[in-house]
Amino acid sequence: MNFDLTIRRRAGAIFAAVLACAGPAAAGELPTLARGPVPETAAPASIWQGLSVGVEGIVVGGRGMKTGFGGATTVAWSRRFENDLILGLKASAGHLPAFAWTAWPGRRLVGVNFVTTEASLAYDFGRVRPWAAVGAGFVKPTAFGGARGLDAVNSFFDEPGRTRGVVTYGAGVDFAVSNRLTIGVGVRGMAQQ
């Protein structure tokens, strides 16, 4: 009985060794189906690229002046390059609160309506995007306030006043809360031409 058990163990070890040596060669001889080229996985699209439409809230305030609120409607397009730089173009129309209450023929001036276009340069840090922008546009004094958005374009034609050309500039940081919602903070300025 002892002799029989030893032979079985040795036969099992020899059989396992033969299978281990013959396994790769035997597997290479089996027929296989032809596969096409493996597609490259595309890099995930940047959340900062493409066409976007949105709204902006504007708050003007400071020491010794009354706080005012305004807003704008924006249409923007941006393109992200391989080096993570982002080039953007944006058009905005809205209402900017006045920095000071000024007399205007029988009314009080509450701000200016504006229409601007700008180009921006930004950097993609994932969900965070710092940016700097420069542009040009037109502003027109108005006695009506509020976040008027695209209605600012209409006021250029139906309200009396002088339209002025301006150069715009600014810088800020945007944060993507989700792929469809972005919040940001920035400082912007306008200089009359």
Summarize the confidence of residues 69-75 as an average pLDDT.
Answer: 85
Cα four-point dihedral sign 160, 166, 172, 173: positive
pTM value > 0.75: no
Q: What is the pLDDT of residue 5?
A: 45
Cβ proximity of 186 and 157 under 8 Å: no
pLDDT in tens, 160-181: 667 888 999 999 999 999 888 8
Residue 187 burial by CB count (10 A; 0-12/13-18/19+): exposed, middle or buried? exposed
Which domains are assigned to the chain? 50-192 (2.40.160.20)
- 143 exposure class (CB count in 10 Å sphere: 0-12, 13-18, 19+): middle
What is the overall mean pLDDT for the chain? 75
Contact 146, 70 (CB under 8 A): yes
How confident is the model over 12-62, as pLDDT tens digits? Answer: 555 555 555 555 555 556 556 666 666 666 556 677 888 988 888 877 776
Distance CA 135, CA 152 (A): 18
180 phi, psi to nearest 5 deg: -120, -5
User: Structure tokens of 144?
Assistant: 């009506």
- Alpha-carbon distance 153 to 74, whole Å? 12
